[in-house]
A and B are shown apart, each in its own frame.
Chain A
Amino acid sequence: MTRYAMAIDLRRCNGCQTCVTACRGANATPTGMQWRQVLDMETGEYPDVRRAFVPVGCMHCADPPCEHVCPTTATKQRADGLVTIDYDICIGCGYCAVACPYQARHIVHRNEFAFGDDRPMESELARMDPERISVATKCTFCKDRIDAGLERGLTPGVDPEATPACVNSCITRAYVFGDRDDPNSEISKLLAETAHFRMHEELDTDPGIYYIWDNAGEDK
């Protein structure tokens, strides 16, 4: 079996927002819609303060609440673990959005252009996709890249042409993508060597993004 998953090394991320911007460009999402986000979190009280940058997005859960609630089956889970949305079926009810504990789903009812509705840019018009209006959208793990890459015999997570844009763009190598079920994949090896957690694990969604916070140790 294959389960595509992502490891994000929080020790590396510096909050630069490159992945967010790359995702916006790669997926031509409308203005303001960030399938990939990097949060700026703060803990503690002055002067004992920590600031942390945390990339978030669709976790491609193994037990995805969005898929369970979707009344149309637009949201599906592929055999390789990717949670997908069929824009032709989705009715834009928003149920998946309230079911997702990661705030990963977005619906817009019109395509806002960066410089205003009356001044769309050529690059926006070229890639505007009416099918994605008024339906749920989210990070796809760049499934089109993965699928096109696989067709060419490439390996997701290894070959950039088969790897999500955020992973490709990361300037701190915080992202590692690959097959969690393959013990020889980079992600599996990295997770074996490191201490990590997944967000909101108590909600039992079995999310597909792992956050690395330290090297592996007996107490971790």
Chain B
Amino acid sequence: MSAEQAPTAGRSAPWHQTNWDLRAAGNFVFGGAGTGLVIFSAFAHVSGTAYVMPVLIGLALVGLGLLCVWAEIGRPLRALNVYRHTKTSWMTREAVVAPFLFASGLGAAWTGSEALVWTAAALALGYLTCQAQMIRASKGIPAWRNPFIVPLVMLTGLCEGAGFAMMVAAVSADHGHLKWIETCLLALALARGLAWYAYRSSLQRERAPKKALAAMSKIEVPFAILGNWTPLALLFIALASSSMNIIFWFGTVCAFAVVLSGWLFKVVLITRAAFNQGFALPRTAVRGAGNGGPAAKPGW
């Protein structure tokens, strides 16, 4: 590694973290969607629709996410050490929830037990919470440590779960249930949209590295406009419509849009907007005589 490529050589303004890449993002992408889908499976179970496939798909997504993480860590053979710090680490807590989630989910799929389905859903929600809190606890990344990241990441996961539920319903010909999923999706997308603006305005208010703000601004159109508000409008139309075609196609398109935009957000959050704190001085030093100089916070 040359000096120019060295971790912080010559840099004081925030630069992008290099420890978590697409693999880490994969955990949040698939974990969020998977847990969201498991949660919706419970609702599906209640409503009497197919839930086995959604649960299994949801668990597979969560598993895929964990696989991504496993591929990311430096010492994969020591992965079980992750269980050593339940006291304060959200990563440990996520890992603790995971086997119970899988056990209850698979058990529900195997036995059809409603209790197990709801247990799985509750654990999935816990798992999703862990993920969101894990991001928030990353104090070194201003775009992550913002408190609004928790509802935003969780709502994103739930939206994706609803989106996936919609896709499963569409594929499994449970079209009769599309409307209630669409209703849920509409509510969640509305909440997600509001969380997005709360998050962004909080970032602006609390200040964040310019480049992090810019990275978030860049996805305003694909994430918020195309991925959230447009589907919201379409869902309104779909819900107002009696045409099965409209309900089906608008719902399916919206599902894709919401899922893909959520994934985009998380990928950007982890791999594009994760500028670190950088270095700052509340004042510069007195150099022999005179006064100290003004504060320096480059990149903010």
Contact = CB atoms under 8 A, between A and B. Distances in A.
A and B touch in the complex (CB under 8 A): yes
Interface of A: 9-11, 30-34, 37, 39-44, 50, 52, 54, 56, 65, 67-74, 89-95, 97-103, 106-109, 112, 133-135, 197, 199-201, 203, 205, 211-215
Interface stretch (B81-89, B98-106, B117-125, B161-169): B81-89
Contacts of A203: 139, 277
Contacts, number: 197
Nearest to A98: B138
Given A98-B17, A102-B277, A197 B9 contact: no
Interface string B278-299: 1111111111100011111010
B296 A71 contact: no
A41 B139 contact: no
- Chain B contact-residue range equals 35 or more
A52 B137 contact: no
13 contacts: A37-B9, A41-B12, A43-B293, A52-B296, A65-B137, A65-B139, A68-B88, A69-B90, A89-B84, A97-B19, A199-B279, A211-B285, A214-B285
Contacts of B138: 65, 69, 95, 98-99
A211 B281 contact: yes
Interface of B: 1-3, 5-12, 17, 19-20, 24, 69, 72-76, 78-79, 81-85, 88-92, 95, 134, 137-141, 144, 274, 276-288, 292-296, 298
Across chains A and B, which 9 residue pairs bring their CB atoms closest together, nearest first? Answer: A92-B74, A134-B74, A94-B19, A32-B1, A10-B285, A71-B91, A32-B6, A65-B139, A72-B81
B279 A56 contact: yes
Contacts of A32: 1-3, 5-7, 9
A57 to B, nearest CB: 10
Given A52-B284, A91-B74, A99 B276 contact: no
A70 B20 contact: no
A40 B10 contact: yes
A82 to B, nearest CB: 19
A214 B7 contact: no
Contacts of B295: 43
Given A32-B7, A68-B89, A135 B140 contact: no
Contacts of B24: 94
Most buried by B among A71, A94, A99: A71
